Amino acid sequence: MVNRRLIIAVDGPAGAGKSTIAKRIAEILELEYIDTGAMYRALTLKVIRAGIDPEDTENILKLMETTSIYFKDNHIYLDGTTVDNEIRKKIVNNNVSVISKIKEVRENMVHLQRSLAESSNLIMDGRDIGTVVLPNANYKFFITASIEERGRRRYKELLEKEEKNISYEQILTEIKNRDRIDSTRKIAPLKKSLDAYEIDTTEKTVEECVEEILRIIEGG
Ligand code: CDP
Protein backbone atom coordinates (compact mmCIF):
# COMPACT_ATOMS: atom_id res chain seq x y z
CA MET A 1 0.00 0.00 0.00
CA VAL A 2 1.28 3.46 -0.86
CA ASN A 3 1.42 5.78 2.12
CA ARG A 4 -0.10 9.07 1.02
CA ARG A 5 1.58 12.09 2.57
CA LEU A 6 -0.70 14.58 4.26
CA ILE A 7 0.49 18.17 4.19
CA ILE A 8 -1.82 20.97 5.32
CA ALA A 9 -1.02 24.67 4.91
CA VAL A 10 -2.73 27.28 7.10
CA ASP A 11 -2.35 31.02 6.63
CA GLY A 12 -4.06 34.14 7.90
CA PRO A 13 -3.62 37.43 9.76
CA ALA A 14 -2.66 37.89 13.42
CA GLY A 15 -5.11 36.62 16.01
CA ALA A 16 -7.42 34.82 13.57
CA GLY A 17 -7.05 31.57 15.49
CA LYS A 18 -4.65 29.76 13.16
CA SER A 19 -2.42 28.20 15.75
CA THR A 20 -5.20 27.06 18.12
CA ILE A 21 -7.04 25.43 15.22
CA ALA A 22 -3.89 23.96 13.66
CA LYS A 23 -2.86 22.41 16.99
CA ARG A 24 -6.25 20.71 17.37
CA ILE A 25 -6.14 19.35 13.83
CA ALA A 26 -2.61 18.08 14.47
CA GLU A 27 -3.79 16.20 17.58
CA ILE A 28 -6.82 14.69 15.87
CA LEU A 29 -5.07 13.64 12.66
CA GLU A 30 -1.78 12.79 14.41
CA LEU A 31 0.24 15.27 12.38
CA GLU A 32 3.29 17.24 13.31
CA TYR A 33 2.48 20.90 13.93
CA ILE A 34 4.88 23.59 12.77
CA ASP A 35 4.27 27.18 13.88
CA THR A 36 6.39 29.20 11.44
CA GLY A 37 5.52 32.46 13.22
CA ALA A 38 7.38 31.10 16.25
CA MET A 39 10.53 30.80 14.11
CA TYR A 40 10.38 34.46 13.03
CA ARG A 41 9.59 35.40 16.60
CA ALA A 42 12.60 33.48 17.94
CA LEU A 43 14.99 35.30 15.62
CA THR A 44 13.33 38.61 16.59
CA LEU A 45 13.87 37.80 20.26
CA LYS A 46 17.55 37.19 19.62
CA VAL A 47 17.87 40.48 17.70
CA ILE A 48 16.22 42.37 20.58
CA ARG A 49 18.38 40.67 23.18
CA ALA A 50 21.48 41.56 21.19
CA GLY A 51 20.39 45.20 21.13
CA ILE A 52 20.37 45.28 17.33
CA ASP A 53 18.01 47.70 15.58
CA PRO A 54 15.28 45.73 13.71
CA GLU A 55 16.07 47.83 10.61
CA ASP A 56 19.80 46.96 10.75
CA THR A 57 19.69 44.19 8.14
CA GLU A 58 23.44 43.74 7.94
CA ASN A 59 23.88 42.95 11.62
CA ILE A 60 20.71 40.85 11.73
CA LEU A 61 22.07 38.66 8.95
CA LYS A 62 25.39 38.33 10.76
CA LEU A 63 23.56 37.30 13.92
CA MET A 64 21.47 34.79 11.97
CA GLU A 65 24.62 32.94 10.85
CA THR A 66 25.21 31.78 14.41
CA THR A 67 21.58 31.14 15.32
CA SER A 68 19.89 27.80 15.69
CA ILE A 69 16.10 27.57 15.72
CA TYR A 70 14.29 24.25 15.96
CA PHE A 71 11.25 22.51 17.43
CA LYS A 72 11.39 19.63 19.86
CA ASP A 73 8.34 18.06 21.54
CA ASN A 74 6.25 21.04 20.42
CA HIS A 75 8.57 23.58 22.03
CA ILE A 76 10.55 26.18 20.13
CA TYR A 77 14.28 26.31 20.85
CA LEU A 78 16.57 29.27 20.25
CA ASP A 79 20.25 28.32 20.48
CA GLY A 80 19.38 25.28 22.59
CA THR A 81 16.97 26.92 25.07
CA THR A 82 13.16 26.93 24.96
CA VAL A 83 11.69 30.37 24.40
CA ASP A 84 7.95 29.54 24.20
CA ASN A 85 6.90 32.37 26.53
CA GLU A 86 9.48 35.01 25.67
CA ILE A 87 8.54 35.02 21.98
CA ARG A 88 4.91 36.00 22.79
CA LYS A 89 5.87 39.23 24.55
CA LYS A 90 4.71 42.61 23.34
CA ILE A 91 8.21 43.71 22.38
CA VAL A 92 8.48 40.74 20.02
CA ASN A 93 4.97 41.38 18.59
CA ASN A 94 6.01 44.93 17.82
CA ASN A 95 9.22 44.08 15.99
CA VAL A 96 8.69 40.72 14.32
CA SER A 97 7.09 42.01 11.11
CA VAL A 98 9.97 44.36 10.36
CA ILE A 99 12.50 41.55 10.66
CA SER A 100 10.25 39.17 8.68
CA LYS A 101 10.44 41.47 5.66
CA ILE A 102 14.14 40.80 5.13
CA LYS A 103 14.72 38.70 2.02
CA GLU A 104 17.60 36.61 3.41
CA VAL A 105 15.74 35.98 6.66
CA ARG A 106 12.81 34.60 4.70
CA GLU A 107 15.01 32.47 2.45
CA ASN A 108 16.64 30.92 5.46
CA MET A 109 13.32 30.24 7.24
CA VAL A 110 11.63 28.86 4.11
CA HIS A 111 14.55 26.48 3.60
CA LEU A 112 14.24 25.25 7.19
CA GLN A 113 10.45 24.93 6.91
CA ARG A 114 10.61 22.93 3.68
CA SER A 115 13.15 20.56 5.16
CA LEU A 116 10.80 19.96 8.11
CA ALA A 117 8.04 19.08 5.64
CA GLU A 118 10.16 16.53 3.79
CA SER A 119 9.88 13.72 6.27
CA SER A 120 6.56 13.88 8.08
CA ASN A 121 2.85 14.42 7.69
CA LEU A 122 2.21 17.85 9.02
CA ILE A 123 0.17 20.98 9.41
CA MET A 124 2.13 24.23 9.11
CA ASP A 125 0.79 27.69 9.85
CA GLY A 126 2.03 31.16 8.95
CA ARG A 127 1.58 33.84 6.34
CA ASP A 128 3.09 32.38 3.15
CA ILE A 129 2.70 28.63 3.63
CA GLY A 130 0.12 27.95 0.91
CA THR A 131 1.59 30.53 -1.47
CA VAL A 132 5.36 30.06 -1.10
CA VAL A 133 6.58 27.48 1.41
CA LEU A 134 4.36 24.51 0.53
CA PRO A 135 2.52 25.35 -2.71
CA ASN A 136 1.83 21.64 -3.29
CA ALA A 137 0.15 21.07 0.08
CA ASN A 138 -2.81 18.66 -0.08
CA TYR A 139 -5.06 21.18 1.63
CA LYS A 140 -4.78 24.91 2.15
CA PHE A 141 -6.81 27.00 4.55
CA PHE A 142 -6.96 30.76 4.96
CA ILE A 143 -8.23 31.63 8.41
CA THR A 144 -9.65 35.10 9.03
CA ALA A 145 -11.76 37.01 11.56
CA SER A 146 -12.86 40.61 11.93
CA ILE A 147 -10.19 43.00 13.18
CA GLU A 148 -12.22 43.73 16.35
CA GLU A 149 -12.54 40.05 17.20
CA ARG A 150 -8.85 39.45 16.54
CA GLY A 151 -8.01 42.40 18.79
CA ARG A 152 -10.23 41.02 21.59
CA ARG A 153 -8.65 37.58 21.38
CA ARG A 154 -5.11 38.90 21.46
CA TYR A 155 -5.93 41.29 24.31
CA LYS A 156 -7.34 38.45 26.40
CA GLU A 157 -4.34 36.28 25.60
CA LEU A 158 -1.85 38.95 26.68
CA LEU A 159 -3.74 39.67 29.91
CA GLU A 160 -3.60 35.97 30.74
CA LYS A 161 0.15 36.11 30.16
CA GLU A 162 0.56 38.77 32.82
CA GLU A 163 1.16 41.66 30.43
CA LYS A 164 -1.21 43.84 32.41
CA ASN A 165 -0.28 47.37 31.33
CA ILE A 166 -1.82 47.22 27.88
CA SER A 167 -5.10 48.47 26.50
CA TYR A 168 -7.40 46.95 23.91
CA GLU A 169 -6.82 50.02 21.70
CA GLN A 170 -3.06 49.49 21.84
CA ILE A 171 -3.44 45.87 20.80
CA LEU A 172 -5.76 46.82 17.97
CA THR A 173 -3.24 49.33 16.65
CA GLU A 174 -0.42 46.81 16.98
CA ILE A 175 -2.34 44.13 15.04
CA LYS A 176 -3.38 46.58 12.31
CA ASN A 177 0.20 47.69 11.96
CA ARG A 178 1.51 44.12 11.75
CA ASP A 179 -1.19 43.14 9.22
CA ARG A 180 -0.30 46.14 7.09
CA ILE A 181 3.42 45.31 7.05
CA ASP A 182 2.76 41.58 6.46
CA SER A 183 0.30 42.17 3.61
CA THR A 184 2.21 44.88 1.77
CA ARG A 185 5.78 43.58 1.94
CA LYS A 186 7.48 42.79 -1.38
CA ILE A 187 8.46 39.22 -0.60
CA ALA A 188 5.84 36.60 0.23
CA PRO A 189 3.13 38.95 1.48
CA LEU A 190 0.19 37.59 3.45
CA LYS A 191 -2.47 36.66 0.93
CA LYS A 192 -4.95 33.91 0.30
CA SER A 193 -3.71 31.29 -2.11
CA LEU A 194 -6.26 30.91 -4.94
CA ASP A 195 -6.78 27.25 -4.05
CA ALA A 196 -7.21 27.81 -0.29
CA TYR A 197 -10.48 27.34 1.57
CA GLU A 198 -11.34 30.48 3.49
CA ILE A 199 -12.69 30.10 7.00
CA ASP A 200 -14.01 33.13 8.86
CA THR A 201 -13.77 32.36 12.56
CA THR A 202 -15.38 35.59 13.85
CA GLU A 203 -18.56 33.99 15.10
CA LYS A 204 -17.42 30.39 15.37
CA THR A 205 -15.96 28.40 18.22
CA VAL A 206 -12.65 26.63 17.79
CA GLU A 207 -14.46 23.30 17.67
CA GLU A 208 -16.79 24.53 14.90
CA CYS A 209 -13.80 25.63 12.81
CA VAL A 210 -11.99 22.36 13.45
CA GLU A 211 -15.07 20.39 12.37
CA GLU A 212 -15.40 22.48 9.22
CA ILE A 213 -11.78 21.75 8.29
CA LEU A 214 -12.08 18.04 9.08
CA ARG A 215 -15.21 17.80 6.91
CA ILE A 216 -13.29 19.32 3.99
CA ILE A 217 -10.35 16.96 4.47
CA GLU A 218 -12.52 13.88 4.92
CA GLY A 219 -14.63 14.83 1.92
CA GLY A 220 -11.62 15.14 -0.35
O1 CDP B 1 0.26 34.42 16.26
P2 CDP B 1 0.20 35.63 15.37
O3 CDP B 1 -0.86 35.50 14.34
O4 CDP B 1 0.17 36.90 16.12
O5 CDP B 1 1.55 35.74 14.59
P6 CDP B 1 2.59 34.62 14.21
O7 CDP B 1 1.95 33.58 13.35
O8 CDP B 1 3.28 34.17 15.44
O9 CDP B 1 3.62 35.44 13.29
C10 CDP B 1 4.34 36.53 13.81
C11 CDP B 1 4.88 37.35 12.65
O12 CDP B 1 5.88 36.58 11.96
C13 CDP B 1 3.89 37.76 11.58
O14 CDP B 1 3.21 38.96 11.91
C15 CDP B 1 4.79 37.94 10.36
O16 CDP B 1 5.44 39.19 10.37
C17 CDP B 1 5.86 36.87 10.59
N18 CDP B 1 5.60 35.64 9.82
C19 CDP B 1 5.94 35.62 8.49
O20 CDP B 1 6.39 36.63 7.96
N21 CDP B 1 5.80 34.48 7.77
C22 CDP B 1 5.32 33.36 8.33
N23 CDP B 1 5.21 32.25 7.60
C24 CDP B 1 4.94 33.37 9.68
C25 CDP B 1 5.08 34.53 10.41
Q: What is the pLDDT of residues 146-188, one digit of tens each?
A: 999 999 999 988 888 766 788 999 999 999 999 999 999 999 9
pLDDT digit string, tens, across residues 5-58: 899 999 999 999 999 999 999 999 999 999 999 999 999 999 999 999 999 999
Residue nearest to atom 13 of ligand 1 (CA): 97
Residue nearest to atom 21 of ligand 1 (CA): 127
Residue 2, pLDDT above cutoff 70:
no
Residue 194, pLDDT above cutoff 50:
yes
Give me the sign of the Cα torsion angle 99, 103, 104, 105.
Answer: positive
d(CA 100, ligand 1 centre) in Å: 8
Residue 219, pLDDT above cutoff 90:
no
Is 173 marked as binding a ligand? no
In this predicted structure, what is the pLDDT of residue 1?
44
Name residues contacting ligand 1 (CB within 6 A). 14-15, 19, 36-37, 40-41, 96-97, 100, 126-129, 178, 182
Backbone angles phi, psi at 207, to 5 degrees: -60, -40
Coil/strand/helix, residue 212: helix
The amino acid at residue 217 is I
In this predicted structure, what is the pLDDT of residue 166?
85
- Per the CB < 8 A criterion, the answer to whether 32 and 26 are in contact is yes
Distances in whole angstroms, Cα of residue 48 to Cα of each of 54, 69, 179, 180: 8, 16, 21, 22
Domains of the chain, first to last: 7-31+122-214 (3.40.50.300), 32-120 (3.40.50.300)
Global pTM? 0.95
In this predicted structure, what is the pLDDT of residue 220?
66
In this predicted structure, what is the pLDDT of residue 159?
85
Residue 62, pLDDT above cutoff 90:
yes
What angle (nearest 5°) sits at the alpha carbon of residue 16, between those of residues 180 and 177? Answer: 20
